[in-house]
């Protein structure tokens, strides 16, 4: 797995690394499901579900109402619906996020999942882990672990062709991950 010393933002190569790890981790696991966190995690989850033949057990969630900073930041103007159309009870759920940082988005996503049932296991997949954890959250599967300079963030985009692009951007100083 790549690390900060060989930071390569080839999102497609990082996706293939992540796919291989998830595939190996789910081998022989009954009732596996994939749930992506809007929006970048949902894009990744769609591809993972397709590549792992888990499309019927694909879900997506929006954590806007579950964030611990909701009162301070208010409602994001681009709230997406949550779609979970499979039984969560007893499932092994791979929760997918694009960039893991503080762990607060993942905490909110776990709260959403439990509104739909009690999974037997939740595993976390992230395309990039940039460190800076504020909660005890760690990915089970990760494409790259990296550290960015102050004021920088990673941004995942999905091109019209469906290909993924990961870029370093100047941050607004408000970590959301």
pLDDT (tens digit per residue) in 156-177:
999 999 899 999 998 765 544 4
Residue whose tokens read 């909660």: 135
Tell me the pLDDT of the chain averaged across its residues.
Answer: 89
Distance separating alpha carbons of residues 38 and 151, to the nearest angstrom: 23
Burial class (CB in 10 A: 0-12, 13-18, 19+), 71: exposed
Of 170 and 141, more confident: 141
Mean pLDDT of 70-83: 68
Residue 67: predicted pLDDT: 74
Range of the structural domain that residue 13 is part of: 4-67+78-170
Domains of the chain: total? 1
Domain containing 40 — which CATH number? 3.40.50.2020
Q: Looking at the domain assignment, is residue 85 inside a domain?
A: yes
């Amino acid at each position: 797995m790549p690390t900060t010393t060989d930071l390569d933002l080839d999102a497609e190569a990082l996706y293939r690394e992540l796919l291989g790890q998830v595939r190996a981790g789910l081998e022989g696991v009954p009732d596996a499901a994939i749930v992506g966190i809007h929006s970048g995690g949902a894009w990744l989850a769609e591809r993972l579900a397709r590549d792992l033949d888990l499309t019927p057990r694909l879900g997506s969630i929006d954590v806007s109402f579950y964030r611990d900073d909701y009162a301070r930041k208010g409602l994001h103007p681009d709230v997406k619906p949550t779609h979970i159309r499979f039984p969560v009870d007893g499932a092994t759920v791979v929760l997918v996020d694009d960039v893991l940082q503080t762990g607060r988005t993942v905490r909110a996503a776990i709260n959403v999942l439990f509104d739909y049932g009690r999974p037997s296991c939740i595993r976390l997949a992230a395309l990039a882990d940039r460190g800076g954890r504020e909660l005890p959250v760690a990915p089970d599967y990760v494409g790259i672990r990296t550290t960015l300079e102050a004021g920088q963030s990673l941004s995942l985009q999905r091109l019209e062709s469906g290909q993924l692009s990961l870029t370093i951007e100047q941050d607004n100083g408000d970590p959301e991950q």
